[in-house]
Amino acid sequence: MEDFTWRVGGPQGGGIETAATLFARAVAKGGWWVATKREYHSNIMGRHSYLDVRLARKPVAAFREKVDMLVALDGETLARHLDEVRSGGVILYDPRVLELTVHKLPMLDHRVAEVLSERFGKLDPSLKDLLAAYVESGVQPLPYPFEEVADRIGAELGVPSLQARRTLNTIAVAASLHFLGFPLEPLLEALALQFRGKVLELNQKVAEAVYREEVPRLSFQLHLNGYEPGRVYLTGAQAAALGKLAGGLRFQTYYPISPATDESTYLEAHTAFTGADVAVVQTEDEIAAVTMAVGAALTGAKSATATSGPGFSLMAEGMGFAGMIEAPLVVTLYQRGGPSTGLPTRTEQGDLQFALRGGHGEYPRLVLASGDIEDAFLDAQKALAWAWRYQTVVVHLLDKFLASMAQSLPKEALRVLQLDGEKRLLPKREGLAPYERYAPSEDGISPFIPIGTPGGFYWMTSDEHDLEGHITEDVVLREYQMEKRMQKLKTAQEEIPLEDQYTLFRDGEVLVLGWGTVKGTLLEALDHLPGVGYLHLRLLWPFPKIADLLEGKRIVTVEHNYSGQLADLVQQETLKRVHHRVVKYSGRPITLDEAVEVLRAVLAKEAPERLVLRKGV
Amino acid sequence: MLELKLADYKAEKQPDWCPGCGDYGILSALQMALFELRKDPSQTAVFSGIGCSAKTPHYLNVYGVHTLHGRVLPVAQGAKLANPHLTVVAVGGDGDGLGIGAGHFVAAGRRNVDMLYILYDNEVYGLTKGQAGPTLGFGEKTKSLPKPNPQGRINPLLLAFAAGYTWIGRGYAYDVKGLKELIKEGLSHKGLAFLHVLQPCPTYNDLHTKEWFAPRLYKLKDEGYDPHVPEGLPPEELDRKMAQFQEKAAEWGERIPIGVFWKAEVPTFEERLRAYLPRYPEVYPALGQREPLDLEGLLKEFAL
């Protein structure tokens, strides 16, 4: 197999994440590059959740529409993923679930149950009916009694049933790999990454026992791909947290919110590492999170906060404050489905225009977006550096897809950047007199003076102010300060290297424009689309000067939102027409197959202006 | 350190408060307290919210940050935690702290960051021309209100107590000397000190005026009230202290107590941070990243 996707589905809290991590590590130990995506409900336990692990011979960040192997750890998975396994693929399931009917799946959405009723022409189809449909579509059924196997192996090893059943995830992974003809050794190594001591011993014995049993050979097999050391496997939220540390973060605030919290809790858990001794404060709300980060920044501490849509709405006020008093501030925004509470655990890129414009009045802000794990690490460093260089707000956009996605990549990809350029006042040695915090400067940047700098003091106010930071409503001073602040945007646009603003991965008569997490999908789609180019936008504000690149092209934007927010931005900033806007707002990421299909239609001049993608469960 | 005079703490900027405003008394008391404690202006920061009282920092020669309406406490806590060697004072009005900022007021009590919060309470929103503040009683009608206040009054002292403030005091804006002493005590307290200041608004509050307050105010210490709650007090003794506090904090009308109501010894947030930052506060965020990041070590858990 050159391209393989393994999917595991089951109830939330049942350990399917452990299973996916184990599978990903096992195949990675066998030399494959992997990417894992995670779909879950806003729920603690019980509701349906699933993960895809995709393998490839080169680094991968895109996901397929159909999977090669589905492991159903419960009956509901059978019901939800019908038509999601490719013809010729396999489904591994516990035959006991076949006794169930659709209406006996308490967490299944009514809509899905109704669709199934209609499809099978009965009020309450049984899971046997569903399985027959899988088979009809060319999927090979592999009954595998997970719990029975656990009990049997438990008895063999002299382990009580309850304890043996805790290894169900290992059994599911081991069985999958065994069916695929994949050697045992990498799995044992992967287990050693995951467990320690007695638990490791038990899990390894269980895996060995699974491998001792005879299983039918599948029509496709998964071979080793030549292991190379020096690779890491981590999520977007972890990469962003590490990037912040590499960028010198000292103070982080947050209010719990999905999917942003993972970043802050990672930081809280790793303060013992050298250079990672960050003060992390959980605040009462996001208003406090953003304003507390501003307070810390004023003393000279590199500060940031991380949130998702609803929290970002509350932060609009504090961000304007930072912009007005010229405080360096990084806001890491993990977008999720909106509006309002929306889809807390599903992906969306619906906050672009809000990130650019949110808040009253005008102040300079920089907005950058990460496309993958490597970007998340590098961008977090840039965000901090730019916030301090320009003494203003930098919004770093990620989304739920990237936050929870994990990717394997070479360790060298996580480069520590040498970014500097902060202007800081040299303190006076003697005397005591006010500092001019807003001293005139051609580039708009006055030297930064941390509160606590000896020799003086200054004032700051969220009101319009004079050079000393006192309130003023004077027309000349108002114009002067407004122009000084906004000048920083021009300076940033001139200073930020073009490669940090955008990347033209390939030129083409049809030119696709994307931002954020469509990157991995579109880059792989290019392999299937001669004649199609891809321009990936990294900096969204100040908006890069890309009009010349668009000249004479058929322009297509691809993004995860309803209206095509990038398309509007491109048209506004370049005065070029966007010919097709491809959007997806189901909360599920765009698959490789969808991207290829829709762009083929564009190439064939068979596509309307607006194209909505709807695949995924 | 320079030899500083009281005048050195006074900024050139002249206050634009109404004549007779209680803010003047509070400002003077604060200047005197900072001077008498010989606080280094370059290591002192006064934060304020928005409103008349929030202009205070502009009239002081220390670092002054005039923040957002209701948000003074999170900004001030952020600065103090990032540089624990600063002397931090937060100031704001009753609307700022107990209206729009009520959530932050409560949350700050849970943390006990070592700083002083002074709440200027004149029961009205002065800068927007006299709407009812959160401390104006139900049914009370100041001259600026078209109808009697339909909402009830928050008791700031009881709320601060419930939230966990470890030093709770009340002063009076026209008793500058007494107020100065309270500010000094609040500043010297280890933990979060809350100083509630009763302050007539001669322009909009014609109910609770200087004349109304004068005969009602009395000093707790004159009645032998002991606010100190030492660590490890037996439960029955603690109950007695709490009952005593509640009785005095709730007293309003004919007699109104001022002074120190509560003074407890509780670990500060800075001390609590040590649980995961063992070198704090010797090594604090404002110093920057002191050693290069151990990225290799951090990446170990992700290695394949």
d(CA A118, CA B175): 81
Verify that A172 and A277 share a domain, yes or no.
no
Tell me which residues of chain B, numbers 55 to 94, contact chain A at a CB-CB cutoff of 8 Å. 55, 57-58, 61-68, 71, 73-83, 85-86
Q: With respect to residue A455, please indicate whether it lies within any of the assigned structural domains.
A: yes
Q: Sign of dihedral through CA atoms B15, B18, B24, B27?
A: negative
Q: Could you write out the DSSP letters of every residue in A314-351? A: HHHHHHHHHHHHT--EEEEEEE-B-STT-BTTS---TT
Beta bridge partners of B131: B125
Q: With respect to residue A225, please indicate whether it lies within any of the assigned structural domains.
A: no
Structure confidence by residue, pLDDT tens digits, A468-488: 999 999 999 999 999 999 999
Q: Give the β-pairing of A67-72 and A85-93.
A: parallel
B158 in contact with chain A, both atoms CB, cutoff 8 A? no
Verify that A465 and A489 share a domain, yes or no.
yes
Confidence at residue A2, expressed as pLDDT on a 0 to 100 scale: 86
Domain end marker among A465, A495, A525: A495
Environment class of A380 (CB within 10 Å of its CB; exposed 0-12, middle 13-18, buried 19+): buried
The pLDDT > 70 percentage for chain A reads 100
Please indicate whether, in this complex, the C-beta atoms of B298 and A271 are within 8 angstroms of each other: no
Confidence at residue B141, expressed as pLDDT on a 0 to 100 scale: 97
Looking only at Cα atoms, what is the longest distance across chain B? 77
Structure confidence by residue, pLDDT tens digits, A549-585: 999 999 999 999 999 999 999 999 999 999 999 999 9
Mean pLDDT to the nearest integer, A539-546: 98
Number of domains present in the structure of chain A: 4
Residue A240 three-state SS: helix
Which H, E and C letters describe chain B, residue by residue?
CCCCCHHHHECCCCCCCCCCCCHHHHHHHHHHHHHHCCCCHHHEEEEECCCCHHHHHHHECCEEEECCCCCHHHHHHHHHHHCCCCEEEEEEEHHHHHHHCHHHHHHHHHHCCCEEEEEEECCEECCCCCEECCCCCCCCCCCCCCCCCCCCCCCHHHHHHHHCCCEEEEEECCCHHHHHHHHHHHHHCCCEEEEEEECCCCCCCCCCCHHHHCCCEEEHHHHCCCCEECCCCCHHHHHHHHHHHHHHHHCCCCCEEEEEEEEECCCCHHHHHCCCCCCCCCCCHHHCCCCCCCHHHHHHHHEC
Instruction: Quote the pTM value.
Output: 0.98
Confidence at residue A427, expressed as pLDDT on a 0 to 100 scale: 80
Q: Which of B63, B115, B273, B284 to mutate to test the interface with A (most CBs of A within 10 A)?
A: B63
d(CA A433, CA A455): 7
Q: With respect to residue A204, please indicate whether it lies within any of the assigned structural domains.
A: yes
Question: At A577, which amino acid appears?
Answer: R
Q: Give the side-chain half-sphere CA count within 13 A for B149.
A: 24
Q: With respect to residue B185, please indicate whether it lies within any of the assigned structural domains.
A: yes
d(CA A396, CA A240): 10
Q: State the CATH number of the domain containing residue A113.
A: 3.40.920.10
Please indicate whether, in this complex, the C-beta atoms of B293 and A273 are within 8 angstroms of each other: yes
Structure confidence by residue, pLDDT tens digits, A106-154: 999 999 999 999 999 999 999 999 999 999 999 999 999 999 999 999 9
Please indicate whether, in this complex, the C-beta atoms of B286 and A28 are within 8 angstroms of each other: no
Verify that A104 and A196 share a domain, yes or no.
yes
d(CA B140, CA B154): 14
A175 in contact with chain B, both atoms CB, cutoff 8 A? no
Domain end marker among A212, A246, A271: A212
A97 in contact with chain B, both atoms CB, cutoff 8 A? no
- pLDDT exceeds cutoff 80 at B268: yes
Verify that A269 and A392 share a domain, yes or no.
yes
Q: Would you state the structure tokens that stand for residue B168, as one six-digit string?
A: 């709770």
Number of domains present in the structure of chain B: 1
Residue B41: domain span: 6-302
Verify that A81 and A158 share a domain, yes or no.
yes
Please indicate whether, in this complex, the C-beta atoms of A317 and B277 are within 8 angstroms of each other: no
- pLDDT exceeds cutoff 80 at A429: no
Phi-psi region of A138 (alpha: psi -120 to 50; beta: other; left: phi over 0): left
Confidence at residue B15, expressed as pLDDT on a 0 to 100 scale: 97
Q: What secondary structure letter does DSSP report for A126?
A: B
Alpha helices in A158-224 (DSSP H): 161-165, 168-179, 185-194, 197-212
Please indicate whether, in this complex, the C-beta atoms of B304 and A25 are within 8 angstroms of each other: yes
Q: Give the side-chain half-sphere CA count within 13 A for A292.
A: 30
Verify that A364 and A346 share a domain, yes or no.
yes
Please indicate whether, in this complex, the C-beta atoms of A275 and B294 are within 8 angstroms of each other: yes
Q: With respect to residue B1, please indicate whether it lies within any of the assigned structural domains.
A: no
Q: With respect to residue A222, please indicate whether it lies within any of the assigned structural domains.
A: no
- pLDDT exceeds cutoff 70 at A367: yes
Mean pLDDT to the nearest integer, A524-553: 98
Verify that A54 and A189 share a domain, yes or no.
yes
For residue A554, what is the enclosing H or E element? strand A554-559
The closest alpha carbon to A69, from A167, A142, A174, A150, belongs to: A142
CB A329 within 8 A of CB A319: yes
- pLDDT exceeds cutoff 90 at A421: no
Residue A467 three-state SS: coil
From the CA of A382, how many Å to the nearest CA of chain B?
16
Q: With respect to residue B138, please indicate whether it lies within any of the assigned structural domains.
A: yes
Mean pLDDT to the nearest integer, A23-42: 97
Structure confidence by residue, pLDDT tens digits, B9-41: 999 999 999 999 999 999 999 999 999 999 999
Residue A578 three-state SS: coil
Verify that A64 and A195 share a domain, yes or no.
yes
How many residues can be counted in chain A? Answer: 617
By Cβ distance, the residue of B13, B288, B304 closest to A408 is B304
Q: With respect to residue B205, please indicate whether it lies within any of the assigned structural domains.
A: yes
Q: State the CATH number of the domain containing residue B205.
A: 3.40.50.970
* CA angle, residues A37, A42, A48, in degrees to nearest 5: 65
- pLDDT exceeds cutoff 90 at A426: no
Please indicate whether, in this complex, the C-beta atoms of A457 and B68 are within 8 angstroms of each other: no
Q: With respect to residue A275, please indicate whether it lies within any of the assigned structural domains.
A: yes
Tell me which residues of chain A, numbers 242 to 301, contact chain B at a CB-CB cutoff of 8 Å. 242, 245-246, 248, 250-251, 253, 268, 270-279, 281, 283-285, 287-289, 291-301
The pLDDT > 70 percentage for chain B reads 100
Verify that A460 and A382 share a domain, yes or no.
no
Q: Give the side-chain half-sphere CA count within 13 A for B182.
A: 33
Mean pLDDT to the nearest integer, A202-214: 96
Beta bridge partners of A611: A582
Q: With respect to residue B88, please indicate whether it lies within any of the assigned structural domains.
A: yes
Verify that A315 and A460 share a domain, yes or no.
no
Confidence at residue A425, expressed as pLDDT on a 0 to 100 scale: 87
Among A347-351, A370-374, B275-279, the range scoring the smallest mean pLDDT is B275-279
Verify that A273 and A197 share a domain, yes or no.
no
Tell me which residues of chain A, numbers 195 to 234, contact chain B at a CB-CB cutoff of 8 Å. 229, 231-234
CB A581 within 8 A of CB A611: yes
Residue appearing with tokens 């929030």: B54
Mean pLDDT to the nearest integer, A537-553: 98
In A48-180, beta strands by DSSP E = 48-56, 67-72, 85-93, 140-143
For residue A490, what is the enclosing H or E element? helix A475-495
From the CA of A291, how many Å to the nearest CA of chain B?
5
Mean pLDDT to the nearest integer, B152-161: 98
- pLDDT exceeds cutoff 80 at B1: no
Beta bridge partners of A235: A406
pLDDT band at B297 (very low <50, low <70, confident <90, very high): very high
Q: With respect to residue B234, please indicate whether it lies within any of the assigned structural domains.
A: yes
Tell me which residues of chain A, numbers 464 to 503, contact chain B at a CB-CB cutoff of 8 Å. 469-471
- What residues in A contact B13, CB-CB < 8 Å? 470
- pLDDT exceeds cutoff 90 at A244: yes
Q: State the CATH number of the domain containing residue A408.
A: 3.40.50.970
Structure confidence by residue, pLDDT tens digits, A53-89: 999 999 999 999 999 999 999 999 999 999 999 999 9
Domain end marker among A495, A514, A547: A495
ipTM of the complex: 0.98
Residue A587: domain span: 499-612
- What residues in B contact A193, CB-CB < 8 Å? 303-304
Q: Would you state the structure tokens that stand for residue A590, as one six-digit string?
A: 């765009």
Verify that A442 and A369 share a domain, yes or no.
no
Confidence at residue A248, expressed as pLDDT on a 0 to 100 scale: 97
Residue A423 three-state SS: coil
Structure confidence by residue, pLDDT tens digits, B186-198: 999 999 999 999 9
- pLDDT exceeds cutoff 80 at A1: no
